[in-house]
Amino acid sequence: MTSHLGCELCEQIESPAWVLVHREADLRVIRVLDAPEFPAFYRVIWNEHVAELSDLSEPQRARCMAAVVAVERVLRDALQPTKINLAALGNMVPHLHWHVIARFDWDAHFPQPIWGPRQRTPEPSAAERLARDWAALDIQVQQAVATALATLSNGQPS
């Protein structure tokens, strides 16, 4: 595996800024803790230091996107969000990672991207509205991703 000196996604597996939800050889999934207005915010991080989706082989890309879709499905089922936002930007950290964010029409930035202008300060807060056992949701995400990838390894469509 290619690791890149000074890349925080190569060097940091554990951090107070996230919960490590799932980890396997080629990718890992975290739940983001440092964006409190968006509590249903996961990231799928490709473990190897590559910058772009097109740096992956087709089977790698299929695994990466299967993980993204597995996270998305759990968020849709559990939270019925207004929309899921997916993004692979990496302008700050050019190491392939996907943001998977459940968005709600009442959230602080909707319908703008979370990086866009603030629209409102929700009252009650996102944490209050979405209050739940996040560790239990993490387990659902973990199981969904593991199952999706195991199925894919067997050559079956997810």
C-alpha distances (whole Å) from 51 to each of 9, 41, 43, 96 are 11, 21, 15, 5
The distance from CA 26 to its chain's CA centroid, rounded to whole angstroms, is: 15
C-alpha distances (whole Å) from 132 to each of 33, 137, 138 are 14, 8, 11
Residue whose token pair is 């890149």? 4
Q: Which is nearer to a copy of itself, 12 or 112 (CB)?
A: 112
What part of residues 77-106 is at the interface with a copy of itself (CB under 8 A)? 82-92, 94, 103
Q: Measured between alpha carbons, how far is 111 from 104 in angstroms, rounded to an integer?
A: 8
Question: Is 72 a residue that touches a copy of itself (CB under 8 A)?
Answer: yes
User: C-beta of 79: minimal distance to a copy of itself in Å?
Assistant: 13
User: Closest Cα partner for 146 from 67, 56, 75?
Assistant: 67
Q: Which is nearer to a copy of itself, 131 or 153 (CB)?
A: 153
Q: Which is nearer to a copy of itself, 125 or 151 (CB)?
A: 151
Q: Measured between alpha carbons, how far is 117 from 30 in angstroms, rounded to an integer?
A: 25
Per the structure block, which two tokens stand in for 17? 């800024």
Query: Of the candidates 4, 23, 49, 73, which one interacts with a copy of itself according to CB under 8 A?
Result: 73
Query: Of the candidates 40, 68, 130, 145, which one interacts with a copy of itself according to CB under 8 A?
Result: 68
Query: Of the candidates 1, 6, 16, 54, which one interacts with a copy of itself according to CB under 8 A?
Result: 54
Residues near a copy of itself (CB under 8 A) are 51-54, 57-59, 61-62, 65, 68-69, 72-73, 76, 82-92, 94, 103, 110-113, 115-116, 157-158
